[in-house]
Amino acid sequence: MTPRGRLAGIGAFTLASALLLSACGGSGSSEEGDSTASGDGESAGIVSISSGEPQNPLTPGMTNEVYGGLVVKNIYSGLVYYTADGAIENEVAESIESEDNKTWTITIQDGWTFSDGTPVTASSFVDAWKYVANLDNAQNQQYFFNGFEGFSFEEPSDIAVEVVDDLTFTAELSEPASDFPLWVGYSAFNPMPEAFFEDPEGFGEDPIGNGPYELESWENDSLITLVPREGYEGPRQPANGGLEMVAYVEEDTAYNDMLDGNLDVLPNVPSSAFATFEDDLGERAVNQPAAVIQVINVPEWREEFQGEAGVMRRKAISMAIDRQTITEQLYGGARTPAKDFTSPVIDGYSEDIPGSEILDYDPEAAKEMWDEAEDMDPIGDYTLQISSNADSDHQDWIDAACNTIRADLEIGCEFAPYTTFDEFLDARDNESVEGIFRGGWQADWPSMSNFLGPIYGTGAGSNDMNYSNEEFDAKLAEAAAAEDQETAVELYKEAQEILFQDVPGIPLWYQNATGGYAETVENVEFGWDSDPILYQITKE
């Protein structure tokens, strides 16, 4: 099985609030034109970004939250890096090859160094991966190595990665995965220098990386300053004089600073500005889908959704939800109606998968299908319940969905609240949840498999509906063993056709990246994962 991604949309989840974690600190900004560039970029200005205090040491194995993650992304380089649209390009890697998609041979380029001058070798990767994957080392990112042979969550493990020579190493997976090259662009797979293993705890306060920037200073709860790294020869050459990551307590303060030109880049627009930020910023506003999908899950144990009539009811409910109106009126366009089970930022995304027409609002067809199911297998007077935890903002969209479901299907529909998140999860996991229930997914890397296998594969860790289809499982296995990614993508599309036949989940919408930038900077682009691509920003 492909390593699992992260559940999304379980708590109160707007992109703005979800990415604003528990960091605290005062606001601040860089002065326009401030220049201390150490490289030969296209511009010399220091680019300021709204951020916060990292929760963990700045190491690939420990950093698993957004503030530290943005730093790690820029001070380390992995085998590959992700382009804005989620494709991969080699960075440290020379080649990543396999004959069976299970045993991989990785060759790295010669000449790479860390910021302390020591070379990046095959051991830099192998030792780092083994360290993070080992339970004894209590690394936050251990989870991402669960697809490797030898991995264990229960006891200290020694994953099957081995050095061949200074520039070559091998990795053996527990099951074939044709998208393995996509995995290794994630930060957990970055290399580490020998200095890390000498003092892992202290290293995270003054990290030594191999990326396009290096840490110049870290003023806790206030400011992190990165400068272009001399000696970086990779493709992500900084086009600016450096980065200032400014800790803000309030997103509204950061937003106003950006409007005033005292902050260059705002990764997350506060919810208070959803209705106005595109007018405020014009072409400098960012509102684009990210690798997050929200769904309604249909439990296989509910009798009214079993058999042919049950599948028809699932499809009727889907067609009775007006996604376009909900995303526009409730979210101010900060959501994008779903067209498949993945995300528009993922290679292979398609709006034309056979069966996907059930995601279009069609009240007439919905009513006909519900009535046909009732003729086939009557359930009589019925009230659909959609469950979620009440300590969130999800009741708004559930109420909106129920409005059209009641009117179009002529049945009852209501929000079934659970007081707390834990209570909701317990009911879901104990198969006692009322009716159907909401869920969501945030990808770890840009791959279709990361949206399909972990959620809908038989026995998968996040298959909370107990869905099982042998044909679907076989299609996933066929895609994982495909000779190339292009073939795999087509097979994953075929797997989605099966999902649209069975409807184990009802895709709703994709979470959008909502951000913006000031007139002080140019060449600002947000990536597939909703992060701004900082190295290419220019500022005079």
Give the dihedral sign, CA 478/480/485/489: positive
* Per-residue pLDDT, 487: 93
Tell me which residue of 41, 32, 366, 423 sits closest to 212, measured CA to CA: 41
- Rounded CA separation 501/312 (Å): 9
Phi-psi region of 435 (alpha: psi -120 to 50; beta: other; left: phi over 0): left
Answer yes or no: are the C-beta atoms of 177 and 449 closer than 8 Å: yes
Least confident segment among 96-100, 162-166, 298-302, 421-425? 421-425
Q: Which two tokens mark 406?
A: 């009641």
Answer yes or no: are the C-beta atoms of 91 and 80 closer than 8 Å: yes
- Rounded CA separation 414/427 (Å): 17
* Per-residue pLDDT, 188: 93
Tell me which residue of 484, 480, 458 sits closest to 469, measured CA to CA: 458
The secondary structure element, H or E, covering residue 380 is none
Q: Which residue reads 């076989």 in tokens?
A: 474
Q: Residue 170's beta-bridge partner residues?
A: 105, 162
The secondary structure element, H or E, covering residue 197 is helix 194-198
User: Exposed, middle or buried: residue 163 (CB in 10 Å: 0-12, 13-18, 19+)?
Assistant: middle
Reply yes or no on whether the pLDDT at 4 is more than 70: no
Cβ-proximal residues to 401 (8 Å cutoff; 6+ apart), any chain: 321, 322, 326, 386, 413
Q: What is the mean pLDDT of residues 500-528?
A: 96
- Rounded CA separation 74/391 (Å): 35
Q: For 355-411, how does the pLDDT look when each residue is reduced to its tens digit (9 = 90+)?
A: 999 999 999 999 999 999 999 999 989 999 999 988 777 899 999 999 999 999 999
* Per-residue pLDDT, 312: 98
**Fold held by 291-513:** Dipeptide-binding Protein; domain 3 (3.10.105)
Q: For 271-306, how does the pLDDT look when each residue is reduced to its tens digit (9 = 90+)?
A: 889 889 999 999 999 999 899 999 999 999 999 999
Answer yes or no: are the C-beta atoms of 284 and 258 closer than 8 Å: no
- Rounded CA separation 10/460 (Å): 18
* CATH 3.40.190.10-classified regions of the chain: 6-19+27-274+514-536
Residue count of the chain, please give it: 540
Q: How far is CA 165 from CA 11, 117, 410, in A?
A: 47, 20, 69
Answer yes or no: are the C-beta atoms of 345 and 85 closer than 8 Å: yes
- Rounded CA separation 46/225 (Å): 9
* pLDDT band for position 440 (cuts 50, 70, 90): confident
Phi-psi region of 223 (alpha: psi -120 to 50; beta: other; left: phi over 0): beta
Average pLDDT over all residues of the chain: 89
Q: Which residue reads 């969905």 in tokens?
A: 401
Query: DSSP string of 259-317?
Result: HTTS-SEESS--GGGTTTHHHHHGGGEEEEEEEEEEEEE--TT-GGGSHHHHHHHHHHH
Give the angle 236-237-238 at the CA atoms, nearest 5°. Answer: 110
Q: For 214-261, how does the pLDDT look when each residue is reduced to its tens digit (9 = 90+)?
A: 999 999 999 999 999 999 989 999 999 999 999 998 889 999 999 999
What angle, rounded to 10 degrees, do the helices at 307-319 and 395-409 form?
110
Q: Are strands 265-266 and 505-517 parallel, antiparallel or unpaired?
A: antiparallel
Phi-psi region of 377 (alpha: psi -120 to 50; beta: other; left: phi over 0): beta
Reply yes or no on whether the pLDDT at 20 is more than 90: no
Q: Residue 507's beta-bridge partner residues?
A: 295
CATH number for the region 6-19+27-274+514-536 comes to: 3.40.190.10
User: Exposed, middle or buried: residue 142 (CB in 10 Å: 0-12, 13-18, 19+)?
Assistant: buried
* CATH 3.10.105.10-classified regions of the chain: 291-513
Q: What is the dihedral of CA 162, 163, 169, 173, to 10 degrees?
A: 0
Q: For 23-42, how does the pLDDT look when each residue is reduced to its tens digit (9 = 90+)?
A: 222 333 333 333 333 445 57
Q: What is the mean pLDDT of residues 140-147?
A: 88
DSSP conformation class of 113: B
Answer yes or no: are the C-beta atoms of 190 and 71 closer than 8 Å: no
Q: Which two tokens mark 402?
A: 């129920």
Q: Where would I find the H helices in 321-420? A: 323-329, 363-376, 395-409
pTM listed for this prediction: 0.79
Answer yes or no: are the C-beta atoms of 128 and 142 closer than 8 Å: no
Q: Which two tokens mark 526?
A: 């947000």
* Per-residue pLDDT, 41: 55
- Rounded CA separation 517/38 (Å): 24
The secondary structure element, H or E, covering residue 445 is none
